[in-house]
Amino acid sequence: MTSRVAAIDCGTNSIRLLVADVDDAGGLTELDRRMEIVRLGQGVDRTGELHPEALDRTLAATRQYAQVIESLGATTVRFVATSATRDARNRDEFFSRVHDVLGVGVEVISGDEEAALSFRGATSAVAQTHPGPFLVVDLGGGSTELVLGTESVEAARSIDVGSVRMTERHFRASHGGADTSPGNHPGDVPPEAPPSPEAVAEARADVRAALDDAARAVPFGKARTLVGLAGSVTTITAHALGLPAYDRDRVGGAELPVEAVLASCQALLASSRQERLEMGFLHPGRVDVIAAGALVWSEVVERVAHDVSAAGGALTEVVTSEHDILDGIALALG
């Protein structure tokens, strides 16, 4: 028996939709997958509230998704919200407006459940071609989930480190105070320098402290395959592959040497805003946050490689997955 389901993942930076047919054996056939940069987490780290403009952007995308869901005839819909909404005092307003559009409630999931869903989605694709245990890292806008397991989750930790949150904490001033909302028109803003060395050093210290905390719960050294998910990771992968434009088929499942990943992270971190605007693979909504995303991913990859080596192994490659929490949500609905 097959069920047609719709999964919506509303994160700090983007809102994404997957409509798919899921069979009793756990197979998933994708019908429609799309993403909009809405920056729901705009200012949440600083104000503790969802910005009115961010709410409007997110609800506009939700209305578009409702039309797609209806046209494809999905019978079950699940709307999952993650880091930004967990942190917001005015989230009830958001919940009410989403319900008015979709007719379903918003589920604010814990970091642990987010990690488990990401793990299920990612490993549904890589488990057939790579050895476990897998360390699945979902690098979002407001948080990063690190999950270790083979057939199921053995250890997980969510840390408050992500591309949007780190940009607002450390890189806003070094980027001339640029507006990081997607409503800002990049072409109207003068090119800005890369983050200052001081800002980079502070951001690295922040990420390393968070990874130290995560390592107490998740033994990184046990991983045989490191799998990266979400927009920052896929963008870095596109850079490493030298793609002139984003190509999901080439990015998904890509296996990159650790050195290539770190080199692309450094190149993106060291690039000016104007240089990033000219990168054909880079979504305009990520231009202002990819430097922070690259810094986070470089720290994760270096730390995992170090811990695997210390445990007597060797991490030589990093796998990028286009299958993630959306797939996990859809599979859980089947």
Q: What is the CA radius of gyration of the chain?
A: 19
* DSSP codes of every residue in 255-269: EEEHHHHHHHHHHHH
Q: Residue 120 corresponds to which tokens in the numbers above?
A: 């299920």
pLDDT over threshold 70, residue 183: no
Q: Which pLDDT band, with edges at 50, 70 and 90, does 47 fall under?
A: confident
Extended strands (E) in the chain: 2-10, 14-23, 28-37, 76-81, 106-108, 134-139, 144-149, 153-159, 225-229, 255-257, 317-320
Residue 160 CB: number of other CB atoms within 10 A? 17
Q: Residue 315 corresponds to which tokens in the numbers above?
A: 């991490």
The torsion angles phi and psi of 253, rounded to 5 degrees, stand at 85, 0
How confident is the model at residue 189, as a pLDDT? 33
Q: pTM value?
A: 0.79
Q: What rounded mean pLDDT belongs to the chain?
A: 88
Range of 31-35, 257-261, 287-291 with top mean pLDDT? 257-261
What's the rounded Cα separation, in Å, for the pair 104 and 132?
36
53-75, pLDDT tens digit by residue? 999 999 999 999 999 999 999 99
For residue 21, the cross-strand partners are 4, 29
Does 121-326 match 2-111 at the fold level? yes
Residue 90 CB: number of other CB atoms within 10 A? 16
Range of 47-56, 194-203, 238-247 with top mean pLDDT? 238-247
Percent of the chain with pLDDT over 70: 93
Residue 131 CB: number of other CB atoms within 10 A? 10
120-149, pLDDT tens digit by residue? 888 888 888 899 899 999 898 888 989 999
Please name the residues in contact with 163: beta carbons below 8 A apart, sequence gap of 6 or more: 13, 139, 140, 141, 231, 232, 286, 289, 290, 292, 293, 296
Work out whether strand 225-229 and strand 317-320 pair parallel, antiparallel, or are unpaired: parallel
CATH architecture of 2-111: 2-Layer Sandwich (3.30)
Nearest to 40 by CA among 24, 61, 21: 61
Q: What does the pLDDT average to over 219-237?
A: 94
How confident is the model at residue 83, as a pLDDT? 64
SS3 content of the chain, % helix, strand, coil (to 5): 50, 20, 30
Residue 324: exposed, middle, or buried by beta-carbon count in 10 A (0-12, 13-18, 19+)? buried
Domain ranges of the chain: 2-111, 121-326
For residue 80, the cross-strand partners are 9, 107
CATH code of the domain occupying 121-326:
3.30.420.150
Nearest to 121 by CA among 334, 330, 278, 298: 330
Contact 53, 302 (CB under 8 A): no
Higher pLDDT pick, 190 / 278: 278
